């Protein structure tokens, strides 16, 4: 998707602050962090929302969680605790329409989220 900002990060047009990368996912720091650690984990393949995941994408969906776990380890949050958030569509607050898993940590989290 040529007009997608996260695809531009995947193809190197924009250089994000990368925390972790493998063949299928990219993890980089959020521009407007909501916690001391705020990293976005994205699939390298463009999917607009989680509604686009198909049964054959199960492994990719799992890779996002495994990458988030890796980010938590890198950031020293795996034992302290961290939160994963996936916003889907307007009412959930999705602003960028390339699937991204937020990894937040480094401060106490409230529940329920606002
Ligand atoms: P959403 O509300 O769609 O779940 O989250 C979008 C996230 O992307 C926001 O936390 C926002 O700060 C982040 N974001 C938007 N544009 C950029 C950008 O150009 N670079 C980075 N690193 N993060 C971005
Ligand atoms: Zn994209």
Predicted confidence at residue 1, as pLDDT, reads 73
Does residue 110 fall inside a structural domain?
A: no
User: For position 26, which CATH number holds?
Assistant: 3.30.428.10
Does residue 99 fall inside a structural domain?
A: yes
Does residue 112 fall inside a structural domain?
A: no
Number of domains in the chain: 1
Query: Which residues of the chain are modeled with pLDDT < 70?
Result: none
Q: Do 105 and 85 meet the contact criterion of CB atoms below 8 Å apart?
A: no
Is 100 annotated as catalytic? yes
- The one-character DSSP state at 22 is -
Does residue 31 fall inside a structural domain?
A: yes
Looking from the CA of 2 toward its CB, the CA atoms found within 13 Å total: 0
Query: Mutation test of ligand 1: which of 7, 15, 94, 95 has the most ligand atoms closer than 8 Å to its C-beta?
Result: 95
Q: Is 95 in the pocket of ligand 1 (CB under 6 A)?
A: yes
Predicted confidence at residue 9, as pLDDT, reads 98
Q: Do 67 and 41 meet the contact criterion of CB atoms below 8 Å apart?
A: yes
Does residue 21 fall inside a structural domain?
A: yes
Taking the CA of 30 as reference, the closest ligand is 1
Does residue 97 fall inside a structural domain?
A: yes
Predicted confidence at residue 2, as pLDDT, reads 80
Does residue 98 fall inside a structural domain?
A: yes
Predicted confidence at residue 45, as pLDDT, reads 98
Q: 18-30, pLDDT tens digit by residue?
A: 999 999 999 999 9
Q: 39-59, pLDDT tens digit by residue?
A: 999 999 999 999 999 999 999
Q: How many angstroms separate the CA atoms of 83 and 61, rounded?
A: 17
Domain span at 80: 5-105
Does residue 26 fall inside a structural domain?
A: yes
């Amino acid at each position: 998707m040529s007009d997608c900002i996260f695809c531009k990060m995947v193809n190197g047009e924009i250089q994000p602050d990368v925390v972790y990368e493998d063949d299928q996912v990219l993890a980089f720091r959020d521009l407007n962090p909501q916690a001391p650690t705020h990293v976005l984990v994205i699939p390298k393949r463009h999917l607009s929302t989680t509604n686009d995941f198909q049964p054959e994408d199960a492994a990719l969906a799992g890779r996002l969680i495994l990458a988030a776990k890796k980010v938590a380890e890198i950031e020293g949050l795996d034992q302290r605790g961290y939160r994963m958030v996936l916003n889907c569509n307007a009412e959930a607050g999705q602003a960028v329409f390339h699937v991204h898993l937020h990894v937040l940590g480094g401060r106490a989290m409230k529940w329920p989220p606002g």
